């Protein structure tokens, strides 16, 4: 949040005791955003050379739409694009031309069975190429074919891309934040801003898609945190999806402002695994979550021997 805070303080003419540290961190955030923006341009251009128009997710393309006056204040660490599975070979070839090489995760068995993206990295940065939107919380999955059909044409820096339909994008951002145990408070700020910019969001459709995918708990907890931590006034159609009072009380303890600020649980491998277990929808999903986690741990230990 440093770049936004520094911008707000500077605009109001205020200073704080940690001003120099804040400004240094803000400059680092903006420099990183510049790098990711350049990489985003390069990736879009490279894929266009193979006749591929990706769906751009998060990152610079989202920042430009959510924060048009200061998009570089939104931190970004990589470029995420969604392509068709049959396009992956061509994508890998094009990314190699940018000196981006495939990164292998030893904790995964069959990446196409266990995960949702391939990673490519080089001096220019990290690119995550999604062949499905996301797979998490006991292997919950979106209807990717329907999501692709609903995607919308968009232009980023004079380059054609596609973006998710508003309801799909909001649900994806909520699920992604939950999947990382709300590691970055900026992800909740994104959702707050998204609601401001899209006041006509169909939360009935969002809730139905979340249930179908197996991400209902992730959605409801995220909505609760928006209300609890950022004082977002949720529309009635969103509030009716919130969990029961007892569940909400536990959510508020697990994901309190102090806990999210410290990131102590979100950055701890076992604790973050347990938090995600709390967010699964069904007992069956919980079992799959535990089994998958145990398999990943065993593979990681074996690979490190």
Identify the pLDDT of residue 192. Answer: 96
3-state secondary structure of 137: coil
6 pLDDT above the threshold of 80:
no
Question: Is 118 within 8 Å of 102 (Cβ atoms)?
Answer: yes
Higher pLDDT, 3 or 135: 135
- pLDDT at 229 exceeding the cut of 90: yes
pLDDT of amino acid 10: 66
For the chain, the distance separating the N- and C-terminal CA atoms, rounded to the nearest angstrom, is 39
Q: What DSSP string describes 70-125?
A: -GGGS----EEEE--GGGHHHHHHHHHTTT-EEE--TT-SSHHHH-SEEEEEETTE
pLDDT in tens, 87-137: 999 999 999 999 999 998 877 777 888 889 999 999 999 999 999 999 999
Sheet containing 101-103: give its strands across. 101-103, 117-122, 125-130, 79-82, 55-57, 159-163, 152-156
Range with the poorest average pLDDT among 4-8, 98-102, 160-164, 257-261: 4-8
Percent of the chain with pLDDT over 90: 65
Distance of alpha carbon 164 from alpha carbon 134, whole angstroms: 13
Residue 3 has pLDDT above 80, yes or no: no
Q: What percent of the chain has pLDDT over 70?
A: 95
Q: What tokens were used for 74?
A: 């939104």
What integer pLDDT is reported at residue 11 of this predicted model? 65
**For residue 7, pLDDT beyond 80:** no
| Each residue's pLDDT tens digit, 62-85 | 999 999 988 888 888 899 999 999
Q: Is the pLDDT of residue 24 over 70?
A: yes
Mean pLDDT score across all residues of the chain: 91
Q: Strand, coil or helix: what is 225?
A: helix
> Which domains can be identified in the chain, with CATH numbers?
1-164 (3.30.460), 165-305 (no CATH)
């Amino acid at each position: 949040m440093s770049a936004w805070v520094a911008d707000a303080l500077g605009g109001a003419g205020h200073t704080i005791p940690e001003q120099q540290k804040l400004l240094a961190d803000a400059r680092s955030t903006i420099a990183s955003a510049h790098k990711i923006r350049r990489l985003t341009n390069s990736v879009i251009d490279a894929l266009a050379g193979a006749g591929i128009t990706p769906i751009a997710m998060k990152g610079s393309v989202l920042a430009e739409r959510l924060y048009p006056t200061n998009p570089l204040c939104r931190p970004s660490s990589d470029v995420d694009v969604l392509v068709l599975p049959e396009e992956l070979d061509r994508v890998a070839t094009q990314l190699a031309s940018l000196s981006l090489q495939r990164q292998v995760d030893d904790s995964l068995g069959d990446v196409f069975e266990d995960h949702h993206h391939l990673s490519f990295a080089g001096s220019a940065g990290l690119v995550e190429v999604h062949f499905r939107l996301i797979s998490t919380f006991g292997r919950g999955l979106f209807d990717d074919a329907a999501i692709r059909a609903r995607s919308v044409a968009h232009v980023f820096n004079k380059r054609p891309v596609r973006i998710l339909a508003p309801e799909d994008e909001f649900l994806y951002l909520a699920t992604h934040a939950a999947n990382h145990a709300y590691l970055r408070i900026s992800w909740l700020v994104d959702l707050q801003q998204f609601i401001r910019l899209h006041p006509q969001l169909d939360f009935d459709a969002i809730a139905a898609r979340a249930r179908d995918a197996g991400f209902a708990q992730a959605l409801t907890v995220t909505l609760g945190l928006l209300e609890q931590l950022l004082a977002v006034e949720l529309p009635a159609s969103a509030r009716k999806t919130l969990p029961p009072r007892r569940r909400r009380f536990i959510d508020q303890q697990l994901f309190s402002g102090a806990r999210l600020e410290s990131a102590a649980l979100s950055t701890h491998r076992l604790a973050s695994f347990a938090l995600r277990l709390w967010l699964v929808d069904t007992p069956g999903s919980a079992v799959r979550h535990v089994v998958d986690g145990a398999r990943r741990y065993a593979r990681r230990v074996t690979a490190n021997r």
